[in-house]
Amino acid sequence: FPDIEVNDKGHLLIGGADAVELADEYGTPLYVIDEMRIRENYRRLHRAFSGEYSRFQVFYACKANTNLAVMRILEEEGSGIDAVSPGEIYTALMAGFDPDRILYTGNNVRDDELQFALDSGVRINVDSRSQLRRLSEIAPEGLRISFRVNPLVGAGHHEHCITGGEMSKFGVMEREAPEVYKMAMDLGFEPVGIHAHIGSGILDPEPFMLAVETLMDIAGRVHEATGVEFEFIDFGGGLGIPYTPEEEPLDIDEFASKITGLFKDKLSEYGLGRPMMCLEPGRYIVGDASYLLTRVNTIKESYRKFAGVDAGFNTLLRPAMYGSYHHILVAERPLDEPSEKMDVAGNVCESGDLFARDRQLPEINEGDVLAIMNAGAYSFSMSSQYNSRPRPAEVLVREGQVDVVRERETFSDLLRGQNVPARLLKR
């Protein structure tokens, strides 16, 4: 769990900025992104893996956080992008990523989306035979592609976040992999990569080890059956971060050495040469780098005690969607000891709109600012305008310097693009 920093007023500091002052100045709810935390996370992971195997590349899974400034930071750090939609490809290109460093892994992709990916010049990671067939109708001869394979191993913090195994809609079946690579070659493609992503929010190295082993065995079988020379092998993302104070962070050096050790053994076992080893972390890079600031406007002593805030599951969906725990600090007094149990409730008109149930928290008063932690991944990117709430602003902080990197939406954004037919405008 990151150390909590306070200033001389005792207020929470984020990237050197006073969280209470940020809330006063920019309004709430407000996402605050700590630039150096992103850079540190990226560098720690990159150093750990490239120290063990120099041909290593990160493809940041930008679905976690598509803010342009965040993507610029990662471009500067040398990352590539894992994109899952034309919109993510577009955003990555606008953020300055070379198409060569964007890997497009779509699921249930339309023909025009394949065309868009082709025209953009990004690398295409194929998910199914259907996609391969449809791509072959529009692709130039010799297009270099890769396949997402389901290695029959799955793991994740919630059932919705497990993407390998027999229940999963993703990827090519493990046993049909050699045949599918053969089919690609017959259709005039040049397959150069193999990919798997088993799930998200994994703190235990074991399922990863199993996935690496399985994917390498599949790569070995494909190589033997078809002669494909792999230029890259991509193990996807999924590296978890602690959300509760009790959870232990991954020991990234130990993790890297285990994974690369197994990877290198398997490379020599199957004579696979020295392909690029890739990972697609999203959460690990940005998860702990943001805080959601929200102000308490109502303390209600009903059948239970509620602290009512001005954000809701439209702002941060994870607690409502997955029952996820997000640690909550009082920005004015983040070091105060918990003193009573309460629920922290959002402002959406649904009973499931809770940021915390039965949470031990310090004394909270109306007007206090709460800092919801670990709101960097799958937070703003999963936000919506539900209940006709304009989406919040985002600020980027670094050494006390604050930049608004996304304006708060206004009411007019709620109506943008809507047209009322003339016949309804009478009177």
Q: Does 105 bind ligand LLP (CB under 6 A)?
A: yes
408 is in an annotated binding site: no
281 is in an annotated binding site: yes
The contact pattern for ligand LLP, residues 337-376, with x = CB under 6 A and - = no contact, is ----------------------------------------
Q: Does 82 bind ligand LLP (CB under 6 A)?
A: yes
List active site positions.
349
Q: What's the distance, Cα to Cα, between the start and end of the chain in Å?
A: 60
Q: Does 378 bind ligand LLP (CB under 6 A)?
A: yes
15 is in an annotated binding site: no
- In the bound complex, what is the minimum distance in angstroms from residue 150's beta carbon to ligand LLP? 12
Q: Does 150 bind ligand LLP (CB under 6 A)?
A: no
Q: In what order do the strands lie in the sheet with 12-14?
A: 5-6, 12-14, 17-18
- In the bound complex, what is the minimum distance in angstroms from residue 285's beta carbon to ligand LLP? 8
- In the bound complex, what is the minimum distance in angstroms from residue 186's beta carbon to ligand LLP? 26
Q: Does 214 bind ligand LLP (CB under 6 A)?
A: no
| Residue 376: other Cβ atoms inside 10 A | 30
350 is in an annotated binding site: yes
Please check whether residue 228 is in contact with residue 191, taking contact to mean a CB–CB distance below 8 angstroms: yes
- Report 305-334 residues binding ligand LLP (CB under 6 A): 318
- In the bound complex, what is the minimum distance in angstroms from residue 318's beta carbon to ligand LLP? 5
Part of the chain binding ligand LLP (CB under 6 A), chosen from 7-15, 208-216, 230-238, 398-406: 230-238
Q: Which residues fall within 8 angstroms of residue 176, CB to CB, at 6 or more apart?
A: none
User: For residues 334 and 392, which CB has a smaller minimum distance to ligand LLP in the complex?
Assistant: 392
> Which of residues 64, 132, 375, 397 is near ligand LLP by CB under 6 A?
64
To which H or E segment does residue 56 belong? strand 56-61
> Which of residues 18, 75, 88, 280 is near ligand LLP by CB under 6 A?
280
Q: Does 237 bind ligand LLP (CB under 6 A)?
A: yes
Q: Which residues fall within 8 angstroms of residue 9, CB to CB, at 6 or more apart?
A: 18, 20
- In the bound complex, what is the minimum distance in angstroms from residue 268's beta carbon to ligand LLP? 27
Please check whether residue 180 is in contact with residue 147, taking contact to mean a CB–CB distance below 8 angstroms: yes
SS3 category, 87 = helix
Q: Does 92 bind ligand LLP (CB under 6 A)?
A: no
Site size toward ligand LLP, by CB under 6 A: 21
Q: Residue 100: what residue type? A: D
Please check whether residue 386 is in contact with residue 349, taking contact to mean a CB–CB distance below 8 angstroms: no
- Return d(Cα 401, Cα 123) in angstroms, integer: 37
- Where helices occur in 177-304 by DSSP H, the ranges are 177-186, 205-226, 252-270, 283-286
How far are the Cα atoms of 41, 181, 194 from residue 145, in angstroms, in the given order?
29, 10, 9
- Report 152-211 residues binding ligand LLP (CB under 6 A): 161, 163, 197, 200-201
User: For residues 10 and 352, which CB has a smaller minimum distance to ligand LLP in the complex?
Assistant: 352
> Which of residues 12, 20, 33, 61 is near ligand LLP by CB under 6 A?
61
- In the bound complex, what is the minimum distance in angstroms from residue 27's beta carbon to ligand LLP? 25
283 is in an annotated binding site: yes
- Return d(Cα 61, Cα 72) in angstroms, integer: 14
To which H or E segment does residue 402 belong? strand 401-406
Please check whether residue 70 is in contact with residue 91, taking contact to mean a CB–CB distance below 8 angstroms: no
Planar angle of CA 214, 256, 200, nearest 5 degrees: 60
- Where helices occur in 312-405 by DSSP H, the ranges are 318-322
44 is in an annotated binding site: no
Applying CB under 6 A, which residues contact ligand LLP?
A: 61, 64, 82, 105, 161, 163, 197, 200-201, 236-239, 280-284, 318, 377-378
What residues are designated binding site? 238, 280-283, 318, 322, 350, 378
List the binding residues for pyridoxal 5'-phosphate. 238, 280-283, 378
